Amino acid sequence: MTRGFGDGLSVAAPAKLNLYLHVTGKRSDGYHELDSLITFAAVHDSLFVTADEGFSVAVAGPFAAALKNATGENLIARAARLLAEAAGIQARASIRLYKRLPVAAGVGGGSSDAAAALRALAALWRLSPDKDELFALALRLGADVPVCLMGRTAFVGGIGERLAPGPDLSDVGLVLVNPGIPLSTAAVFGARDGPYSVPGRFEATPADTASLARLLAARRNDLEAPARALAPAIAAALDGLAAAAGCRLARMSGSGATCFGLFDNTATAARAARGLKSAWPDWWVEASTLINDVEALMPSPPA
């Protein structure tokens, strides 16, 4: 949800989760085609956007240093530039990002930040971009940015451009674990071998976490095996989550290394997270919940 504060706006950029991820083929341009069910967690980065004569992005928070050390153009700055160019205006804004989500972690932190920047800057600059044009900009920023811009649980196909509404998955407890090992998406795809998968979409709306887990157990993340080969700590994270009391399903998200466990409710997830934090004090362990609509998520202020 975009909220006003003073003369600016604040917006949440939640963690993205691939509940399953099937690699269905490879295009002639080298991009892989995917079929995935993507949803979002309540844990999120926060963007604070104000009008300014120039343009700047400042980063704070637990994972600020990791983002500053990352290579390549900052996706928030790139999103601002593309949106301003499309509107024929100068990119003028001051953006503060509070980075709670780990970097290069398979939870779409950068993609979610970019989508949040598009939403916030469109509001700040009083733009009303055509929906299709805005999604085209999002796809130029990255394969996960369109679904993050959509901001709702969705089945995603192609290279991220084909979106279809997914089932209602609210009120599912969640624990996320990242062992602190950044993984390159390109490296994980490069390490993948074997046949391609068929799509795994389903029409049912799960009645509860147990029924959701049963549906997902018949599917998988095709990038888990190559990611585990590159970062063996992923296996430990998955084993630890699966062994936690009340865990219905443990799986890796995206290209890793973040793993998640599904629980019947937030109380059970919180208990599991406390135990896992004790076991892995140097890892990122976060209890959360699934959300269906990013716009309903209130941005949290810096801790």
Mean of pLDDT values over 277-299: 94
173-291 shares the fold of 3-166:
no
Least confident of 65-69, 83-87, 159-163, 235-239: 65-69
Confidence of residue 71 (pLDDT cuts 50, 70, 90): low
Q: How many C-beta atoms lie closer than 10 Å to residue 196's C-beta? A: 13
Mean of pLDDT values over 12-34: 96
Among the listed residues 172, 164, 171, the one whose alpha carbon sits nearest the alpha carbon of residue 38? 164
Mean of pLDDT values over 5-24: 90
Confidence of residue 303 (pLDDT cuts 50, 70, 90): low
Mean of pLDDT values over 13-38: 97
Among the listed residues 88, 98, 146, 152, the one whose alpha carbon sits nearest the alpha carbon of residue 118? 146
Out of 35, 113, 144, 222, the active site residue is: 144
pTM summary value? 0.95
Compute the half-sphere exposure of residue 233: CA atoms within 13 Å on the CB side of its CA: 16
Per-residue CA distances from 114 to 56, 166, 241, 298 (Å): 14, 22, 30, 18
**Domain 3-166, CATH class in plain words:** alpha beta
Instruction: Decide which of 2.60.40.2220, 3.30.70.890, 1.10.4080.10, 3.40.50.1370 is the CATH code for 173-291.
Output: 3.30.70.890
Confidence of residue 2 (pLDDT cuts 50, 70, 90): low
Helical ranges in the chain per DSSP H:
64-69, 75-87, 109-124, 131-141, 145-150, 185-191, 209-217, 224-230, 233-243, 266-279
Q: How many C-beta atoms lie closer than 10 Å to residue 129's C-beta? A: 16
pLDDT at 300: 86
pLDDT at 4 over 60: no
Confidence of residue 122 (pLDDT cuts 50, 70, 90): very high
How far apart are alpha carbons 298 and 11 in whole angstroms?
8
The full set of domain ranges for the chain reads: 3-166, 173-291
Confidence of residue 197 (pLDDT cuts 50, 70, 90): very high
Portion of the chain with pLDDT greater than 70, in percent: 96
pLDDT at 3 over 90: no
16 has catalytic annotation: yes
pLDDT at 201: 98
Residue type, 195: P
277 has catalytic annotation: no
Q: Mean pLDDT score of the chain, rounded to an integer?
A: 94
How far apart are alpha carbons 229 and 83 in whole angstroms?
39
How far apart are alpha carbons 288 and 220 in whole angstroms?
22
Q: Is 215 in contact with 176 (CB distance < 8 Å)?
A: no
Out of 16, 35, 45, 222, the active site residue is: 16
pLDDT at 105 over 60: yes
Portion of the chain with pLDDT greater than 90, in percent: 89
pLDDT at 171: 85
Mean of pLDDT values over 258-280: 98
Confidence of residue 8 (pLDDT cuts 50, 70, 90): confident
Confidence of residue 155 (pLDDT cuts 50, 70, 90): very high
pLDDT at 287 over 90: yes
